[in-house]
Structure 1
Amino acid sequence: MARILVAEDDPSVRAFVVSALTMKGHEVVAEDDGGLAAETMEAEGGRFDLLLTDIKMPVMDGIALALQVGASYPDVTILMMTGFADQRERAHGLDALIYDVIAKPFTLVDLLEKVDDALNGRPVEVVPLARRSLQ
C-alpha cells in the first residue's frame, strides 16, 4: 500500500483520517500543522506517495505546504481537504499542482475513494459549479 503524510489541525478529523487510511493498509504519518508536515516531508526526503492536507491550518496553511512540496518533490501526489468554500476556490489556482480537493465533511467511503483515485492517477470528475453547490 501507500505511504501517506496527513496534515490536519483538527484532532478529531486527523484521527478519523489516520484510522481510515491505516485500516485500508496504508502507512500513515500525521502532523497537526503545515509547518510540521513540511519538516516531516523534508526529513523523509519526500518518500511519500501522497500528501493529504487541510487547506486552512495555523503556522503554514495547506496551500503554502502544497507549493513547497510540489516544488521539492514533484512525484508526491497532493490531495487537499477543506470545509471552507473560499479556501476551496484558492486551491483551484493550483490545478497543475494538486490532484483534487475533498469538501468537508466527507464520509469514510468518499475519503477512501478519493485517496484511491489520487494514488491510481484516475482523472478527476469535473463537476459544474452549479452542481457542486447542491452536493
Structure 2
Amino acid sequence: MGGEEVVAKVLLAEDDDSVREFVSRVLVLHGHSVIEATDGAKAVELMNTHHFDLLITDIVMPIMDGISLALKVRSERPHVPIVLMTGYANESQRAHNLSVLIEELLAKPFNKDQLVAAVNKALSSEAKVKKGAK
C-alpha cells in the first residue's frame, strides 16, 4: 500500500550520536541496512570498502563536511542518490545551491515520516534513472 519502497544499503554520516541513532533505527525498521560514520573522512573510508545505494549526510561535521563528502560521492559514484541533513539555515542555503548534486534536503529537527519520505523519494529517483539508463 502507498508508495513503492525500495530497500537499500545506506551510508549514514552524522557526528551527533542521537541523530545518527534515530536515523539508523528508522531506516532499519523500514528494511534498509545502514553503515554508520561519525564524520566525512570515515564515510570516505567506508565508501571505498562497501557498496551502498544511498548517502545520507549531515552538512556540518568535523574533518570533512557533508557537502565535501557529497561532492566526492557524486564524482566517484554518480548513480548514488544523496540526502543532506542540516540544522543551520545558512548551510541550508548552501545545500539549495547544490540542488543538482542532491536529491533531498532534510532540515533538522525532522520526524520519522519526513525521513522516510525523503529516503523513498531519493531511492525512487535512483530507480527511475537506472531503468532509463538501459
Q: Say yes or no: TM over 0.5.
A: yes
Number of equivalent positions = 120
Code of the residue aligned with 2:60 in structure 1: it is K
* Alpha-carbon offset, residue 93 of structure 1: 2.2
Task: Give, as a single letter, the amino acid of the residue that structure 1 aligns with 2:36.
Answer: A
Match of 2:98 in 1: 94
CA distance in 2, matches of 1:6, 1:98: 15
Calculate percent identity across the aligned residue pairs: 48
2:120 paired with 1:116: yes
Deviations 1:79-123 (A, max 9, x none): 10000010011112221111121000001111111111111119x
1:37 maps to which of 33, 37, 43: 43
1:130 aligns with: none
SS in 2 for 1:121: helix
Instruction: List per-residue Cα deviations over 1:49-98 (Å, max 9, x = no partner).
Output: 10000000000000000010000000110110000010011112221111
**Counterpart check, 1:104 vs 2:108:** yes
Aligned with 2:101: secondary structure?
Answer: coil
Select which of 13, 32, 41 maps to 2:19: 13
What's the C-alpha RMSD, in Å, of the aligned pairs?
1.1
| TM-score normalized by the length of structure 2 | 0.87
Q: Which ranges of structure 2 fall in alignment gaps of 5 or more residues? A: 1-6, 127-134
For normalisation by structure 1, the TM-score amounts to: 0.86
